[in-house]
Amino acid sequence: MGGAAPYTTLNVGDAAVGGFMRRDPEQHPDVPNSWTVYFATDDIDATATQINENGGRVLNGPFPTPVGPMLIAADPQGAVFQAIEMAPAQSDDA
């Protein structure tokens, strides 16, 4: 297996509003192609706590990613979603 697939960010002006990447069929052979909704949060750990306290379940994470820590969760009815705490934008001048 190779490394992580490139992640393409969709922007409106300077704000990232979405993104996508190719699914690695070798890494996830039983997972069909799909779209996933992400909710931005200022505090991924607090979000994980709130999910669990309100009847949802954190299924994976929080875990680090190149764009910020995220988690995969399910609401009380089982609908899966993700949450992400976006890393601060890096300036080319830094």
Structure tokens at 6: 């490139």
Q: Minimal CA–CA distance to 74: which of 36, 46, 40, 45?
A: 36
CA distance 21 to 13: 21
Note the pLDDT tens digit of each residue in 39-91.
999 999 999 999 999 999 999 999 998 889 999 999 999 999 999 998 876 54
Domains present along the chain, CATH in parentheses: 33-94 (3.10.180.10)
Note the pLDDT tens digit of each residue in 11-21.
899 887 888 87
